[in-house]
Amino acid sequence: MNTLIIHSSKNKPPLHDATGAFIPEAMAFAAEHQVPMSNVLSLDCLQGVGARMSEVEFFLHAAGFRDIGMLTFFCHGWSGGIQTGHTLSKIPRLLAALASYPRDLRIMLYCCWTADGDGEVDNRPVGVATDGGFADKLRDGMLAAGFDGGWVDGHKTPGHTVKNPNVVRFLVDVKKDFDGDHDIQGGAYLVQPGSSRWGKWVHALQGPYRYRFPFATEEEIHAAIEML
- Rounded to 5 degrees, φ, ψ at 173 are -135, 110
CA distance 201 to 171: 20
Residue positions counted in the chain: 228
Q: Could you tell me which residues are beta bridge partners of residue 151?
A: 106, 171
pTM of the predicted model as reported, rounded to 2 decimal places: 0.94
Give the pairing type, strands 2-8 and 40-43.
parallel
pLDDT tens, per residue, the chain with 228 residues: 999 999 999 999 999 999 999 999 999 999 999 999 999 999 999 999 999 999 999 999 999 988 999 999 999 999 999 999 999 999 999 999 999 999 999 999 999 999 998 654 444 433 346 889 999 999 999 999 999 999 999 999 999 999 999 999 999 998 876 566 688 888 999 999 999 999 999 999 999 999 999 999 999 999 999 998
Q: Which of 31, 54, 55 is nearest to 42 (CA)?
A: 55
CA distance 149 to 135: 16
**Domain 2-227 bears CATH identifier 3.30.700:** no
